[in-house]
């Protein structure tokens, strides 16, 4: 009796595992499918102008009839700078507000903060962009024209990233079992130490996941960036210079692009994905090496 | 907060799980419905499409019983107008469904060529190679492109020469035209936009010559940019500019070479910076597509066309 | 003992920086959300919520658009949540953490998260609309969104599960509790916040998406009759009104205000339900 019961439990386990493995496999396949799709669409451009031209050409002029140019470096730099700026601003803001919600504030305020963040997460990016254009850009313009700039992009994107980073961090902080806090309190350990020596290290994985998701969103964000960044293809000299990101370029030109131009746009998208995944992999390596030490 | 984090881990209660299971069941049901309805309805919609060809090619009569589904894709400028025309067409022919999709002029042209759409929408004239591939453009309306500045800008008009000097960077400061001593902010349209092509053609410019400070996509993007920057100058669709200015958005439409930018001047041809708004078909359309096209070009549609800020064409 | 004063300083510093951050976050989001609600709510009425758009959306309401949005989101969540949570559970609880498939799947999900949404739109158009012959339809839009939010759901759930200490798993194994039982009664409740946050983040992102839907679920404002009909979602409607229709700004704000209010209701309901369930579980234990 006991034997058969544990057997059926094992069978349940096996079925569950099969089902879950199927889900994981499907998720993985889906990704491959999308990457393959982008690659397939980009293939003509990867063959004809070739990847080297994307880096070596100095300007982006894919529709020129006599000598098309495919330089995407300034746009890649634009994407990188906007992402970097937004992640650097959003991470501390998100982290500290979550710590306050979790350890220093009343339950009501924490609840309120979570709902506000969830709400912010559901604001369509066109609304962020529109708000940036109507409110932020004129402010920056009064300070240093033309207003639509790298800075405007970073600020709007920061606002968009805060919910992703904060909510993911919050979830993993809340998953740390309460007993640990109680024991710490029983040992007379101060709250600062509890936060930085206990909670943050335990929830580190969730925080890193949140920051990476945020960074990925920043890299892929399109609509808001198109509206507030000014979209000039150039290497920015200052925060007040307009820039064009790769995603903005895709959004601006895809609706009008035909054959070769279209393939080139997909190729820039592919290169963007590869660059950002290299960074993610690099961050992972660094983390692992430090962990070993 | 710490107190609220008490530990639920050792509960062996299955209620929560049954809740989860209920949720899963609902989701599975949604999935199943998606795919079943997908499989079930697929042949139908194919049949509907095939029906298009079977309709007698009687042109534009309202009393004929029309049925079937028509798909239009293309220019985001034309799409809102096409939606309104489609709605009126559907009320007159209750068995007809006209689906309008947007995505850009090139998309409309490509879809009309490939047959993904029955008709395409374009906000520019067809190019030579597109006509050679068998596309026919049917002019629905006409749109003007106007130069706009912020309402605070003291300028009252410009000559073509000044427009060229401004956009090519020969004039970089508003004081050279009698305005305040501040740098001009040039708002250009993105590569490939029909408004850009019309503007460049009219002033005999190439896009590389334009020293843009900001590049925008849609008309409203351009209008909001100029409205938020008193040093900016840009160009947008005339209907959009006028209706926004009437609503109190701080922009002003500037006459070029003394020609007032009214939709009447656009219609009469006195104002030259214009572009056609087209419905594109592969070959001459037949059946439902032909009926819709005739309906769209009929004088009954002129009020809809004007309501969207465009000017009707009178043959 | 020696660390006590330093800890007090850290405490004070954390507290100050934290409150400053909370202030900034609340102020800026309040500014944004407040301006949307302030401009938008005055236009909202019962007839706005129930009638269909007229004159390119400048008049009429958003009733049909709301129905399409609800359908697109149900298809999206109905696929992304079981798939995503299932994948996360397998990655975290069944697969060996250092094994190659885990690394591969997680790496590829990272890659997926940074794909611009417009590329998802084009992917959905080719694969779901054209290859699977769904046409411009709510089903195609929902499937496309499901692909888009999958990484979000997987990664957040995974992180939630990994934050549960291994002691619990070891304890369960020592007691010879099967994995499925341990999962049901120990791990998923502990990681519930992660799952809920993942789903809420995904829902919010899906509800906010524009670019991926213009090419898939489309632009049609008619009342959808089946999942194979094209239907415009609220965020596509907002985009069109704000960026494409002259004089559409007021209605764009109104639609955005409605979207935010609906999201608020869903989020609050989810939070209350999750809290109540956890409290219920705890009450049983103690």
pLDDT at A189: 84
The 10 Å CB-count burial string (b at 16+, else e) for B113-151 is beebbbbbbbbbbbeeebeeeebbbbebbbbbbbbbbbe
pLDDT at A92: 94
Cβ-defined contact of B103 to C227 (cutoff 8 Å): no
As given in the structure block, the two tokens for residue C249 are: 């700004």
Q: pLDDT tens digit string along A89-122?
A: 999 999 999 999 888 888 899 989 988 998 898 8
C15 touches chain B (CB under 8 A): no
Residue among A156, A155, A99 nearest A128 (CA): A156
C34 touches chain A (CB under 8 A): no
Q: Could you tell me the pLDDT band of residue B63, with boundaries at 50, 70 and 90? A: low
Q: pLDDT tens digit string along B86-130?
A: 999 999 999 999 999 988 888 899 889 988 899 999 988 898 888
pLDDT at A276: 81
Q: pLDDT tens digit string along A123-137?
A: 888 899 999 999 999
Bigger pLDDT: B97 or C166? B97
What does C93-111 look like in DSSP terms, one character per residue? IIS-TTSHHHHHHHHHHHH
- d(C-alpha B77, C-alpha B84), whole Å: 13
For chain A, what is the HEC assignment?
Answer: CHHHHHHHHHHHHHHHHHHHHHHHHHHHHHHHHHHHHHHHHHHHHHHHHHHHHHHHCCCEECCCCCCCEECCHHHHHHHHHHHHHHHHHHHHHHHHHHHHHHHHCCHHHHHHHHHHHHHHHCCCHHHHHHHHHHHHHHHHHHHCCCCCCHHHHHHHHHHHHHHHHHHHHHHHHHCCCHHHHHHHHHCCCCHHHHHHHHHHHHCHHHHHHHHHHHHHHHHHCCHHHHHHCECCCCCCCCCCCCECCHHHHHHHHHCCCCHHHHHHHHHHHHHHHHHHHHHHHHHHHHHHHHHHC
Instruction: Indicate the class that CATH gives domain B68-142+277-312.
Output: alpha beta
What does B10-27 look like in DSSP terms, one character per residue? T----HHHHHHHHHHHHH
Name the phi and psi angles at B150, rounded to 5: -70, 150
The percentage of chain B sitting over the pLDDT mark of 90, rounded to a whole number, equals: 42
Q: Could you tell me the pLDDT band of residue C241, with boundaries at 50, 70 and 90? A: very high
Cβ-defined contact of A209 to C158 (cutoff 8 Å): yes
Domain spans of chain B, in order of start: 8-56, 68-142+277-312, 143-268
- Residue with token string 């200490």: C165
Bigger pLDDT: C176 or B36? C176
Q: pLDDT tens digit string along A54-98?
A: 888 888 888 877 888 888 899 999 999 999 999 999 999 999 999
Residue B233 has pLDDT above 90, yes or no: yes
Residue B9 has pLDDT above 80, yes or no: no
Per-residue pLDDT averaged across B140-164, rounded?
A: 91
- d(C-alpha B240, C-alpha C246), whole Å: 5
Residue B25 has pLDDT above 50, yes or no: no
C277 touches chain A (CB under 8 A): no
CA angle B223, B224, B228 (to 5 degrees): 120
Residue C86 has pLDDT above 50, yes or no: yes
pLDDT at C238: 94
pLDDT at B192: 78
Residue C106 CA: distances (Å) to CA of A60, A232, C37: 34, 35, 39
pLDDT at A91: 94
| Helix H or strand E encompassing B107 | helix B105-114
Q: Which residues of B touch C57 (CB under 8 A)?
A: 80
Question: Distance from CA of residue A133 to its chain's centroid?
Answer: 22
Q: With 0-12 CB in 10 A as exposed, 13-18 as middle and 19+ as buried, what is A95?
A: buried
Residue A43 has pLDDT above 80, yes or no: yes
Among B43, B101, B146, B244, most C C-beta atoms within 10 A, so best to mutate, is B101
Q: Which residues of B touch A177 (CB under 8 A)?
A: 5, 7, 9
Look at A223-232, B39-48, C12-21, C276-285 and tell me which has the smallest mean pLDDT: B39-48
Name the phi and psi angles at B256, rounded to 5: -105, 130
pLDDT at B291: 93
pLDDT at C158: 87
Per the prediction, chain C carries an average pLDDT of 88
- d(C-alpha A278, C-alpha C15), whole Å: 36
- d(C-alpha A216, C-alpha A272), whole Å: 11
Listed in sequence order, the residues at least 6 apart from B34 whose beta carbon sits closer than 8 Å to its beta carbon are C75, C78, C79, C139, C142, C143, C227
pLDDT at C166: 84
pLDDT at A10: 53
Do the strands B185-189 and B232-237 form a parallel or antiparallel pair, or are they unpaired?
parallel
As given in the structure block, the two tokens for residue C153 are: 């759901």
- d(C-alpha A43, C-alpha A54), whole Å: 14
Find residues 65-84 of chain C whose CB sits inside 8 Å of chain A.
82-84
Rounded (10°) CA dihedral B7, B13, B16, B20? 120
- d(C-alpha C238, C-alpha C247), whole Å: 12
Nearest to C123 among A24, A34, A223 (CB): A34
Length of chain C: 286
pLDDT at C5: 60
Is the confidence metric ipTM above 0.90 for this complex? no
From the CA of A184, how many Å to the nearest CA of chain C? 13
pLDDT at C93: 87
Bigger pLDDT: C106 or B209? B209
- Do residues A123 and C206 lie in contact, with contact meaning Cβ atoms separated by under 8 Å? no
Neighbours of B39 (CB within 10 A): 9
Residue B50 has pLDDT above 70, yes or no: no
For C220-257, what is the HEC assignment?
Answer: CCCCCCCCCCCCCCHHHHHHHHHHCCCCCHHHHHHHHH
Residue among A285, A242, A281, A249 nearest A264 (CA): A249
Residue C190 has pLDDT above 50, yes or no: yes
How many CB pairs (< 8 A) connect B and C? 142
Listed in sequence order, the residues at least 6 apart from A100 whose beta carbon sits closer than 8 Å to its beta carbon are C15, C18, C19, C21, C22
Q: Which residues of C touch B77 (CB under 8 A)?
A: 244
Q: Do domains B68-142+277-312 and B143-268 have the same CATH topology?
A: yes
pLDDT at C22: 93
From the CA of A23, how many Å to the nearest CA of chain C? 5
Topology, domain B143-268: D-Maltodextrin-Binding Protein; domain 2 (3.40.190)
Which range of A24-33, B195-204, C252-261 scores highest in mean pLDDT? It is C252-261
- Do residues B190 and B217 lie in contact, with contact meaning Cβ atoms separated by under 8 Å? yes
Topology, domain A72-292: MetI-like fold (1.10.3720)
Q: Give C275-279's long-range contacts (Cβ < 8 A, gap of 24+).
A: C277/B16, C277/B19, C277/C192, C278/B8, C278/C189, C278/C192
Sign of the dihedral defined by the CA atoms of residues A33, A35, A38, A43, in that order: negative
Per the prediction, chain A carries an average pLDDT of 85
Residue B13 has pLDDT above 80, yes or no: no
Which DSSP state fits B65? -
Bigger pLDDT: B65 or C255? C255
pLDDT at B313: 81
Residue B236 pairs in a beta bridge with B146
- Do residues A51 and A39 lie in contact, with contact meaning Cβ atoms separated by under 8 Å? no
Residue among C117, C100, C98, C96 nearest C108 (CA): C100
Q: Which residues of B touch A244 (CB under 8 A)?
A: 215
pLDDT at A11: 64
Residue among B304, B314, B241, B287 nearest B96 (CA): B287
The 10 Å CB-count burial string (b at 16+, else e) for C129-160 is beebebbbbbbbbbbbbbbbbbbbbbbbbbbb
Longest dimension (CA), chain A: 83
Residue A138 has pLDDT above 80, yes or no: yes
Q: Could you tell me the pLDDT band of residue A40, with boundaries at 50, 70 and 90? A: very high
pLDDT at C283: 62
The radius of gyration computed from the CA coordinates of chain C, to the nearest angstrom, equals: 22
Q: pLDDT tens digit string along C94-143?
A: 888 778 888 888 888 877 877 888 889 989 988 999 889 898 999 999 99
Name the phi and psi angles at C57, rounded to 5: 100, -5
B110 touches chain A (CB under 8 A): yes
Listed in sequence order, the residues at least 6 apart from B260 whose beta carbon sits closer than 8 Å to its beta carbon are none
As given in the structure block, the two tokens for residue C186 are: 């120990």
- Do residues B222 and B236 lie in contact, with contact meaning Cβ atoms separated by under 8 Å? yes
Q: pLDDT tens digit string along A145-196?
A: 788 999 999 999 999 999 989 988 888 888 777 888 888 888 888 888 888 8
pLDDT at B33: 44
Q: Which residues of A touch B103 (CB under 8 A)?
A: 255
Per-residue pLDDT averaged across B238-244, rounded?
A: 86
Residue B173 has pLDDT above 60, yes or no: yes
Which pTM value belongs to this model?
0.86
Q: With 0-12 CB in 10 A as exposed, 13-18 as middle and 19+ as buried, what is B178?
A: exposed
As given in the structure block, the two tokens for residue B313 are: 């064409």
CA angle A171, A173, A179 (to 5 degrees): 125
Do the strands B311-312 and B135-150 form a parallel or antiparallel pair, or are they unpaired?
antiparallel
pLDDT at C12: 87
- Residue with token string 């949570």: C85
Neighbours of B286 (CB within 10 A): 15
């Amino acid at each position: 009796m006991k034997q058969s019961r544990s057997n059926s439990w094992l069978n349940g386990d096996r079925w569950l595992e099969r089902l879950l493995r199927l889900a994981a496999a499907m998720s993985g396949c889906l990704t491959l499918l999308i990457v393959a799709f982008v690659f397939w669409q980009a293939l003509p451009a990867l063959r004809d102008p070739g990847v080297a031209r994307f880096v070596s050409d100095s300007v982006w002029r894919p529709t020129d009839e006599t000598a098309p140019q495919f330089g995407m470096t300034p746009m890649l730099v634009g994407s990188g700078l906007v992402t970097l700026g937004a992640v650097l601003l959003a991470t501390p803001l998100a982290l500290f507000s979550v710590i306050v919600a979790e350890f220093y504030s009343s339950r009501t305020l924490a609840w309120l903060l979570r709902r506000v963040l969830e709400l912010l997460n559901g604001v369509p990016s066109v609304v962020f962009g529109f708000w940036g254009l109507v409110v932020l850009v004129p402010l920056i313009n009064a300070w240093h024209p033309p207003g639509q700039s790298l800075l405007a992009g970073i600020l709007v994107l920061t606002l968009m990233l805060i919910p992703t980073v904060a909510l993911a961090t919050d979830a993993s902080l809340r998953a740390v079992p309460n007993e640990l806090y109680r024991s710490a309190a029983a040992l007379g350990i101060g709250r600062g130490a509890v936060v930085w020596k206990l909670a943050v290290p335990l929830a580190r994985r969730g925080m890193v996941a949140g920051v990476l998701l945020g960074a990925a969103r920043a890299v892929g964000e399109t609509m808001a960036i198109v509206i507030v960044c000014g979209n000039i293809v150039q290497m920015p000299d200052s925060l007040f210079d307009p820039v064009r990101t790769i995603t903005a370029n895709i959004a601006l030109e895809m609706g009008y692009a035909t054959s070769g131009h279209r393939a080139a746009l997909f190729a820039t998208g592919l290169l963007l994905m590869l660059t950002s995944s290299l960074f993610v992999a690099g961050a992972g390596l660094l983390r692992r090496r430090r962990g070993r030490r | 907060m710490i107190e609220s984090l008490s530990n639920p881990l050792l509960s062996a209660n299955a209620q929560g799980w049954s809740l989860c299971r209920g949720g899963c069941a609902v989701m599975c049901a949604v999935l199943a419905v998606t795919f079943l309805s997908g499989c079930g309805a697929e042949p139908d919609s194919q049949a509907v499409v095939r029906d298009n060809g079977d309709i007698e090619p009687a042109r534009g009569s309202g009393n004929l019983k029309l049925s079937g589904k028509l798909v239009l894709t293309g220019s985001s400028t034309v799409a809102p107008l096409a939606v309104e025309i489609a709605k009126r067409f559907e009320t007159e022919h209750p068995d007809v469904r006209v689906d309008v999709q947007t995505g850009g002029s090139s998309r409309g042209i490509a879809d009309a060529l490939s047959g993904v759409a029955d008709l395409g929408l374009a906000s520019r004239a067809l190019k030579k190679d597109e006509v050679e591939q068998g596309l026919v453009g049917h002019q629905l309306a006409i749109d003007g492109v106007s130069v706009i500045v912020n309402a605070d800008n003291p300028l009252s008009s410009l000559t073509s020469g000044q427009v060229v000097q401004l956009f090519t960077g020969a004039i970089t400061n508003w004081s050279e035209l009698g305005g305040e001593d501040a740098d001009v902010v040039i708002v250009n349209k993105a590569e490939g936009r029909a408004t850009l092509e019309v503007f460049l053609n009219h002033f005999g410019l190439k896009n590389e010559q334009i020293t843009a400070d900001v590049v925008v996509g849609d008309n409203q993007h351009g209008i909001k940019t100029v409205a938020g920057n008193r040093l900016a100058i840009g160009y947008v669709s005339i209907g959009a500019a006028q209706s926004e200015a009437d609503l109190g958005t701080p922009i002003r439409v500037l006459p070029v070479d003394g020609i007032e930018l009214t939709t009447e001047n656009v219609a009469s041809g006195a104002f030259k910076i214009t572009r056609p708004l087209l419905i594109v078909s592969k070959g001459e359309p037949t059946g439902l597509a032909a009926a819709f096209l005739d309906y769209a070009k009929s004088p009954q549609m002129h009020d809809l066309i004007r309501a969207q800020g465009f000017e009707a064409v009178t043959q | 003992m020696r660390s006590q004063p330093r800890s007090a300083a850290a405490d004070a510093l954390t507290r100050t920086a934290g409150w400053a951050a909370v202030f900034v976050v609340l102020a800026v989001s309040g500014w944004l959300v407040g301006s949307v609600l302030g401009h938008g709510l005055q236009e909202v009425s019962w007839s706005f919520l129930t009638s269909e758009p007229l004159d390119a959306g400048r008049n009429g309401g958003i009733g049909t658009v709301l129905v399409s949005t609800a359908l697109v989101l149900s298809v999206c969540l109905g696929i992304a949540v079981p798939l995503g949570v299932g994948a996360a559970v397998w990655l975290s609880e069944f697969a060996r953490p250092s094994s190659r498939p885990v690394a591969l799947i997680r790496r590829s999900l990272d890659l997926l998260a940074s794909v611009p949404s417009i590329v998802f739109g084009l992917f959905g158009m080719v694969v779901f609309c054209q290859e699977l012959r769904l046409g411009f339809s709510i089903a195609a839009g929902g499937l496309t969104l499901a692909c888009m939010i999958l990484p979000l759901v997987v990664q957040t759930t995974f992180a939630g599960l990994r934050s549960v200490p291994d002691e619990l798993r070891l304890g369960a194994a020592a007691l010879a509790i099967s994995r499925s039982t341990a999962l049901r009664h120990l791990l998923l409740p502990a990681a519930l916040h992660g799952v809920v946050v993942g789903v809420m983040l995904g829902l919010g992102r899906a509800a906010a998406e524009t670019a991926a839907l213009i090419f898939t679920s489309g632009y049609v404002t008619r009342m959808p009759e089946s999942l194979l009909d094209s239907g415009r979602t609220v965020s596509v409607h907002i985009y069109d009104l704000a960026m494409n229709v002259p004089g559409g700004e007021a209605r764009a704000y109104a639609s955005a205000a409605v979207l935010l209010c609906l999201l608020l209701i869903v989020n609050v309901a989810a939070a209350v339900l999750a809290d109540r369930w956890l409290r219920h579980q705890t009450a049983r234990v103690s």
